[in-house]
């Protein structure tokens, strides 16, 4: 398998046509080795347009979804980022290249250990993976410039919005199948927030976030 050709094809055929035009993001995808963050059994599928199982009911999001979330987060070098759902550590690696510091929370202990090992092997030292339930809120190091949810939730978690700095962004996939929406919430003031939902997709659930009742009376 020609890894570089496969990586090029992923960027040009999957990601760029999905409205990812940020040259910094596209360049980063060619630099951070996605295949090194994929479980060995799925390495041949590292660049496929699919979610890759990580075990424990978790998976890596499809490359085009990861790229679009990264573009929407618009992270800058001076910013501090919180990620909920470390998974394999790949998104944390991408964020770390753009941010000053990344704290990534992973509820599953084995995945947290795997993500730590892969980030260390990739030589990334400004991303820290902690075994913690992100549904319980943010670490004491907040507030954050960016909060990224690497999975879907039924609704935007209000507790996490409280941990955004003014001008900070929360990026998540929100809603229920068959249609979920990429959701960007920007904190404009103490109690003011602006929300945009620029594209639709579907993604696996993050664990333990509330599911609203669907009963109607």
**The Cα angle at residue 135 between residues 110 and 202, in degrees rounded to 5:** 85
Find out if CATH 3.40.50.150 is the number for domain 3-201: yes
Question: What gap in Å lies between CA 209 and CA 175, rounded to an integer?
Answer: 12
Query: What tens digit of pLDDT does each residue of 95-144 get?
Result: 999 999 999 999 999 999 999 999 999 999 999 999 999 999 888 999 99
Q: At what angle do helices 23-31 and 63-73 cross, to 10 degrees?
A: 130
Residue 106 contacts residue 115 (beta carbons within 8 Å) = yes
Cβ contacts of 216 within 8 Å, gap of 6 or more: none
Q: What percent of the chain has pLDDT over 90?
A: 92
More confident residue, 1 or 47: 47
Question: What gap in Å lies between CA 7 and CA 13, rounded to an integer?
Answer: 10
What residue segments make up the domains of the chain, in order of their start? 3-201
If you average pLDDT over every residue of the chain, what do you get? 95
Question: What gap in Å lies between CA 87 and CA 45, rounded to an integer?
Answer: 17
Query: What tens digit of pLDDT does each residue of 174-190 get?
Result: 999 999 999 999 999 99
């Amino acid at each position: 398998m020609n890894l570089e050709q496969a990586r090029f094809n992923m960027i040009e055929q999957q990601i760029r046509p999905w409205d990812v035009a940020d040259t910094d993001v596209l360049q980063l995808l060619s630099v951070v080795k996605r295949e090194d963050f994929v479980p060995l059994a799925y390495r041949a599928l590292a660049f496929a347009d699919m979610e890759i199982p990580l075990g424990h009911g978790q998976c890596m999001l499809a490359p085009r979804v990861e790229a679009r979330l990264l573009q929407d987060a618009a992270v800058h070098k001076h910013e501090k980022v919180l990620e909920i759902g470390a998974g394999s550590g790949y998104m944390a690696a991408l964020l770390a290249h753009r941010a000053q510091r990344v704290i990534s929370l992973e509820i599953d202990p084995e995945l947290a250990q795997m993500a730590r090992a892969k980030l260390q092997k990739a030589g990334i030292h400004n991303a820290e993976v902690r075994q913690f339930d992100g549904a319980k809120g943010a670490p004491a190091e907040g507030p954050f410039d960016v909060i990224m949810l690497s999975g879907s939730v039924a609704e935007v978690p209000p507790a996490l919005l409280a941990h955004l700095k003014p001008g900070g962004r929360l990026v998540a996939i929100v809603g229920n199948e068959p249609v979920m929406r990429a959701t960007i919430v920007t904190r404009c003031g103490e109690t003011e927030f602006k929300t945009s939902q620029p594209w639709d997709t579907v993604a696996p659930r993050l664990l333990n976030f509330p599911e609203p009742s669907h009963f109607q009376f």
